A and B are shown apart, each in its own frame.
Chain A
Amino acid sequence: MYAYDEIDRTLVNERVSEFRDQVQRRLSGELTEDEFKSLRLMNGVYLQLHAYMLRVAIPYGTLSSPQLRKLAHVARRYDRGYGHFTTRQNIQYNWIKLSELPDALEDLAAVGIHGMQTSGNCIRNITTDQWAGVAPGEIEDPRIWAEILRQYSTLHPEFSFLPRKFKIAITASDHDRAAIKIHDIGLRIRKNEQGETGFEVLVGGGLGRTPFIGKTIKQFVVHRDILSYVEAILRVYNQYGRRDNIYKARIKILVHELGIEKFAQEVEDEWLQMRDGVLALDDAVVEDIRSRFSYPAYQKLSDNPDEMKAASADPRFAMWLGNSVAPHRVTGYSIVTLSLKPVGMPPGDATAEQMDAIADLADKYSSGEIRVGHEQNLALPNVAKRDLPALWRALDKIGVATPNVNLITDIIACPGLDYCSLANARSIPIAQELTKRFADPDLANMIGKLHINISGCINACGHHHVGHIGILGVEKNNEEFYQITIGGRADEQAEMGTLIGPAVPYADVADVVEDIVEAYLALRARPDETFVETVKRLGVTPFKERVYATR
């Protein structure tokens, strides 16, 4: 955990008092909506269909138990008793009143969390692997660098009015759980031959209307230079990114129009003029940040404790263990994923009661720490294996132990037309129907790893382009239709999915997904050939034929 000090807390409090003044000026009419809009957006406040929405940042996906309890409190006190975890390590409240927002933000500030830069054309919440610091084989804890970048990007005086929003993600593992290739800047932590930490820097990834996989702009930037290099990228983008057309304003379009070589040259020219300047990170600064991350005092524990042996006889426990529990870098410990995807419910939602209960369980079993991943699930990162049976019973009781992590019912979905003012079609009811169709855990297990991603419009908050099966809602003559893509993926082998054919109406989507899955089961070479591997091997044609043969 990173511990905020007085300096960090002061800034958050100053921000709340500024926003209180802005809200007051808006409510009195001193500020027009046009003037207020970008101010509220920079504090994470959107206007949605039914109400204002508050988006709160969970930097690098790490929460302490008091922070999670405070998120529960805000859900209960200012909203309708629940919150929605997003694909970018944020939580959203859907029913909050503008007049009460300053109070809600003040309550959150008491535990060091806020809505700063969760919206607007600024540097957004810095995201990383939800298993950071505990994953086996990780080069080092990427949260140190995420925190340095969080501080660097907070209220940046030069980059708070960029052409468009700007998202940065970091990973330090071979397996990319942070989807860095679909971010404006993706950073992969590496070591050079001298053993120094540095970063492979990718730029220009993103989804939306014009999806691109990020391209490597520099193979290795040593850690001392990472802030100056990021600043050089941002400065080139701030000056030359398009501002004439909102759909062409992201950095991916600039990189695409200039070409990566020309863009890289512009960045290099800028960087060489400043790399030895004030942004050069000296070791004292890095060590100071590192020292404020605390880690639990791990004990020497058995990797196969008696408690586990006894509990494994219960097939429900065994199924959950096989699905939701991952190896930890320390012997005797596990990383436990909490599925927020119960059958028939909105993906990523959690009630205040669940959040409070999870906070208590984190205190009891996971050194008071909770993680949030881009797949819209939570995780407890430090669970002793001997505690797994007891933890499972407690998680099961509150409905967050559905053994479907990475399976077909672990659906990523945006809020869609039920909430969102940008949406063309609904997302959540599609997800709910699909989870019912594939509710049988044996069936889901037999199908194996399969990510379904649903977006209610082309802005792609549900990351449909990179879903193994991607579902995009569109509107045709006042009716909801859905385009289906297959073969996308968001990890280190990131790829955009391929459209299988014409959009299908709302009522047919679940049938089409069933057809695709049946085709896969018939076509896979072996039971352990995953869906994306089969699509990669055979292309989309056999799936297309199956789906459209009868339509």
Chain B
Amino acid sequence: MPLVKGGKIVSDTYAGLADDAELASGGNVLMSAARFLADPAALAVRSGQTGVVWPNNRDIDDLVPHLAEIAVVALVFPSFRDGRAYSQARLLRERHGYRGELRATGQVLRDQFVFMLRAGFDTFDVRKESDAKAFAQVAERYSVFYQPTGDGRATAFRQRLARQAEVTGS
């Protein structure tokens, strides 16, 4: 599946690590939450980067104490209809100040890209090649956003007030 990062298709530098596989010191790996939580200290001696796949039905409070050591948090959309990971993403970014890679995995389709960007995802494990190729175009589809989220886009409320200020100021 193509990985989109920074708006472009890139090769994934992370390899999935099975729960029973040996953890090498080097190389970038993505491991399950269960494996990670069993021994978070194991990361300290690694030279490679570590990412964690966090399930959407587990409270992210368990992950928060470890955010500084983690390079990638991969959140899961078992189906595109299951939107729990949007809440997890916003909490990680906006409440807990997570600045590492936030990856959307699972059934990731083009029609969710804008929602995902707004919720704080920056990397997308996209199901379909055609969707991945359309990413840049789809991400530009909307220019008006009503809700403030942590993505920094100006909301409609703010845009209006700014316009009024311009008018009043001139």
Contacts and interface: CB of A to CB of B under 8 A. Distances in A.
A278 B82 CA distance: 26
B25 interface: no
A5 B82 contact: no
Most buried by A among B80, B86, B90, B144: B144
A157 B141 contact: no
A30 B109 CA distance: 12
Contacts of B82: 161, 243
B55 to A, nearest CB: 12
B170 interface: no
A304 interface: no
A500 B160 CA distance: 56
A7 B159 contact: yes
A442 B144 CA distance: 55
Most buried by B among A10, A161, A243, A278: A161
Contacts of B95: 273-274
A352 to B, nearest CB: 31
B63 interface: no
Nearest to A22: B111
B164 to A, nearest CB: 7
B119 interface: yes
Interface string A218-239: 0000000000000000010011
A82 to B, nearest CB: 32
Contact of A14 (B88, B90, B111, B142): B142
B130 A30 contact: yes
Contact of B83 (A152, A160, A277): A160
B117 to A, nearest CB: 8
B157 A151 contact: yes
Interface in B96-140: 109, 111, 114-116, 118-119, 130
B16 interface: no
B148 interface: yes
A103 B51 CA distance: 46
Given A154-B146, A156-B147, A288 B161 contact: yes
Contacts of A243: 82, 84
A279 B94 CA distance: 13
Most buried by B among A38, A121, A158: A158
Query: What band does the interface of chain B fall in when counting residues whose beta carbon is under 8 Å from A?
Result: 20 to 34
A121 B161 contact: no
Interface in A10-36: 10-11, 14, 17-18, 22, 30, 35
A238 B84 contact: yes
Interface string B75-93: 0000011111011101000
Nearest to B118: A157
B87 A158 contact: yes
A288 B115 contact: no
B64 interface: no
Interface in A136-182: 151-152, 154-162
Given A7-B156, A152-B147, A161-B80, A235 B87 contact: yes
A14 B143 contact: yes
A549 interface: no
Contacts of B94: 277
Contact of B149 (A7, A151, A157): A157
A232 to B, nearest CB: 11
A155 B87 contact: no
B144 A11 contact: yes
Contacts of B87: 158, 235, 238-239
Contacts of B161: 284-285, 288
Contact of A11 (B81, B142, B157): B142
B134 to A, nearest CB: 9
A274 B95 CA distance: 9
Given A10-B143, A158-B119, A279 B160 contact: no
A10 B149 contact: no
A7 B81 contact: no
Contacts of A278: 148
A279 B115 contact: no
A319 interface: no
A38 B81 contact: yes
A285 B90 CA distance: 23
A303 interface: no
Contacts of B147: 152, 156-157
A278 B94 CA distance: 10
Contacts of B81: 38, 121, 161
Interface string A35-59: 1001100000000000000000000
A157 B84 contact: no
A285 B155 CA distance: 11
B156 to A, nearest CB: 5
Contact of A38 (B80, B118, B157, B164): B80
A399 B83 CA distance: 47
Contacts of B146: 11, 151-152, 154-156
Interface string A252-289: 00000000000000000000011001110000110010
A157 B115 contact: yes
Contacts of A239: 84, 87-88
Contacts of A154: 146
A158 B143 contact: no
A278 B95 CA distance: 12
Contact of B148 (A35, A161, A279): A279
A43 to B, nearest CB: 11
A25 to B, nearest CB: 9
A196 interface: no
B139 to A, nearest CB: 12
A8 interface: yes
A8 B156 contact: yes
Contacts of A155: 114-115, 142, 145-146
23 contacts: A7-B160, A10-B143, A10-B144, A11-B142, A11-B146, A35-B109, A39-B111, A121-B83, A151-B157, A152-B146, A152-B147, A157-B114, A157-B118, A157-B149, A158-B83, A158-B87, A158-B90, A160-B83, A160-B86, A238-B87, A273-B95, A284-B161, A285-B157
Interface of A: 5, 7-8, 10-11, 14, 17-18, 22, 30, 35, 38-39, 121, 151-152, 154-162, 235, 238-239, 243, 273-274, 277-279, 284-285, 288
